[in-house]
Chains A and B, each alone.
Chain A
Amino acid sequence: MVLININEKCTGCSRCLKACPFDAIKIINKKAVIGEECTLCSACVQVCEFNAIEIKRKETKEIDFSQYRDVWVFVEIKDNKIRKVTFELLGKAKELADELKQDVCAVILGSNVKKTCPELFAYGADKIYLAEDSALKEYYTDTYSSVIVGMILKYNPNIVIYPATRIGRDMAPRIASTLKLGLTADCTGLSIKDGLLLQSRPAFGGNIMADIVCPMTRPQMATIRPNVMKKPEPDYNRNGRIVEVPVKINQEGLRVVVKEIIKTTISGAKSIDESDIIVSGGRGVGSKENFKIIEELANVLNAAIGASRAAVDLGWRPKTCQVGQSGTTVSPKIYVACGISGAIQHLVGMKGSEVIIAINKDREAQIFTVADYGIVGDLHKVVPLLTEELKKELKKAE
């Protein structure tokens, strides 16, 4: 059965040829011809301006799901290193795969990334799907989503999970839409119930939780918040199979091109979405200079430094530090809020933290409603003292 078809509307304009990540299209007699390499990823359908390419998909209801196997994890790379959230996802995937008696597969795209494979095996991958190409060095929505769509269609996974990072949240909906799949955003819990992936997520600003399933479609897909799942202990004796997926990307076909990357993060500083501990400062800190006491406390705790919207607004910290609804949603093991009153937009972004410590001079501050430990007092006095006390305590522990 031919699933992809070029109709008479084709003008041989070759846009599809450039867009194809698998080099599967040729122009013969001024008409596009689809070769065997085609994975039905539909990148060509996307760029065709003449509606000349049609992909017929089988009705999902007729499909016997037994051919869909394994739990896939999208591997996010940053600065040539695997991001911590990937390991958390691999740990969770292992749990799900064990219950289903299926394998954990890592999906990695990039340029010169094969060297990361041993680490992925150590954290639980049984198999790795590897797509390497110099054009995959930089993340682009179109290239990444097309390559993954192709892989999913070829290898039929049962479950695919992505980190709910800016990249994961940009790419996963595109894949879901192309494959006509459900996608659950920002999950904080995953389990198997009656053979289905049970996806739990907060909604309505964290006021309710919802359990979601996708019974009629495969693979089942979700994005998972960083820092929520436990990072497993690596076992460097583990090994597995690497499946190299050939790709050939024509960069001329890119519809979006990165012109410039501006890093505002302070070099060497820990990022708030990956750190186990975050020390945040708000308007109460008083000035950019005063953030020094927050930095000192963060240093002692080996923590990342966060900030409320007010502190970012006043130019005391870069936007990348902002915790909250219009910044980053975090869920570290310990969150220390210093001089943050606790606007709802901030609370939504941090109330998933395991332990919340708040220091504020206003006893009525909203932040205390979510705090496990609250100190009512002037942070300029409390924070340095706390830093000293912790220093002593942690020294003792050594």
Chain B
Amino acid sequence: MCVKQVPDTTEVKIDEKTNTLIREGVPSILNPFDQFALEEAIRVKKVSESKIPHSFIAQQGHNFLCDKKENDEIVVVSMGPSQTRNALMKCLALGADKAVLLSDRVFAGSDTFATSYTLALGIRKIGEFDIIFCGQQAIDGDTAQVGPELANNLGIPQVTYVEKVEKIEGRKLVAYSQTDEGYRITEAKMPVLLTGTPPTSFEPKNPPIRSIMTAKKKPFVVWCANDLKGEKGRYGLNGSPTQVIKVYPPPVREKGVMITDTPEIASKKLVGMLVENKIIK
């Protein structure tokens, strides 16, 4: 399970003088897409561990079937500065079993290409896996690229925009994912990487205090670049083919016209203005 700690983008503003982001006072949160993917991973694990016969699970409306399995572990991985520990602790409190933080100064400035390279090294070091869950995208960059690039680095297939894992049978997984026209149900060979995008009904939950306490007892490791044994030139800024050369505020929208008349007058006024400004013809 790969996650990212992101600034709450609803709170980010730009300093008009220096053209830099004002990150002060902006809270860092677990990327909401990642939280969804994690909760889905936990659901999958719970069902696969349960001793309840399959048919019963189906009746309970879980709508999920899979072979009984024990000792599955959810390892949550993130690359980022040491503060990323907070997001990982939340993942542990939500139900992940173990956390791995890839943290090193040389990772700084990674674009999606360098990030996926580094994450792949970390995941390989952790060991064998069946499913890699990622959030569809992070709310700060919105690129949706790390998941597919990571899958490619690991040499495994991917299913993106997954809303639900329907079932697991042997080494195959069935996923329900969003498309431009609705949904598609795909069967993928494991190991596979899934990027999760929440259904509208999803509300990220906060872990209960008790879970926050038990999370502190769960394994938490930090690896630096030396632990990963990758190529030095492929980390961070040096390993990033994309270069940001300028950051600036988006064009400012002119203040709009507010119409507060009665509905009859307001609708006439609006159409009048739309015609006058050649917005409709």
Contacts and interface: CB of A to CB of B under 8 A. Distances in A.
B108 to A, nearest CB: 17
B200 A142 contact: no
Given A255-B192, A382-B263, 14 more contacts: A45-B155, A48-B155, A78-B181, A166-B180, A177-B148, A180-B241, A185-B145, A208-B250, A261-B181, A326-B198, A373-B259, A375-B266, A376-B259, A389-B267
B256 A373 contact: yes
Nearest to A60: B241
Contacts of A256: 157-159, 186-189, 192
Interface string B148-185: 11011101111111000000000000100011111111
A372 B254 contact: yes
B268 interface: yes
Contacts of B197: 326
Contact of A257 (B148, B183, B187, B247): B187
A386 B267 contact: yes
Contacts of B147: 173
A373 B275 CA distance: 13
Contacts of A328: 180
B126 interface: no
B270 A205 contact: no
A273 B181 CA distance: 11
Given A46-B155, A256-B187, A371-B256, A204 B21 contact: yes
B7 interface: yes
Given A204-B140, A374-B259, A377-B266, A319 B242 contact: no
A368 B258 contact: yes
Nearest to A345: B10
Given A208-B250, A260-B184, A325 B12 contact: no
B248 interface: yes
A167 B180 CA distance: 9
B119 to A, nearest CB: 12
A214 B242 contact: yes
Interface in A60-76: none
Contact of A203 (B141, B188, B198, B246): B141
Contact of B143 (A185, A257, A386): A185
B281 interface: yes
6 contacts: A141-B148, A208-B247, A256-B192, A318-B182, A377-B266, A385-B263
Interface string A28-50: 00000000000000000111100
Contact of A389 (B116, B250, B271): B271
Interface residues of A, number: 94
B240 interface: yes
A259 B177 CA distance: 12
B128 interface: no
Given A178-B152, A257-B186, A357 B142 contact: no
Contact of B144 (A169, A208, A217): A169
B39 to A, nearest CB: 14
Interface string B132-146: 000000011111111
Given A185-B142, A215-B243, A393 B159 contact: no
Given A208-B14, A214-B242, A368-B258, A259 B185 contact: yes
B253 A370 contact: yes
Contacts of A381: 263
A325 B259 contact: no
Contacts of A259: 174, 184-187
A163 to B, nearest CB: 11
Contacts of B187: 256-257, 259
B279 A334 contact: yes
Interface in B262-281: 262-264, 266-268, 270-271, 273-275, 279-281
A377 to B, nearest CB: 5
Contact of B180 (A176, A214, A271, A371): A271
A174 B159 CA distance: 12
Contacts of A173: 112, 144-149, 152
Interface string B1-19: 0000001011011100000
Contacts of B143: 185-186
B111 A182 contact: yes
A180 B152 CA distance: 11
A258 to B, nearest CB: 5
A177 B152 contact: yes
B44 to A, nearest CB: 18
A287 interface: no
Interface string B120-134: 000000000000000
B6 to A, nearest CB: 9
Given A183-B145, A386-B267, A393-B280, A207 B186 contact: no
A183 B246 contact: no
Contacts of B240: 182
A182 B242 contact: yes
Contacts of B200: 309, 312-313, 319, 322, 326
Contacts of B21: 204, 207-208
A170 interface: yes
Interface string A377-390: 11001100110111
Interface centre among A173, A355, A386 (most CB of B within 10 A): A173
B149 A214 contact: no
A178 to B, nearest CB: 6
A46 B181 contact: no
A1 interface: no
B249 interface: yes
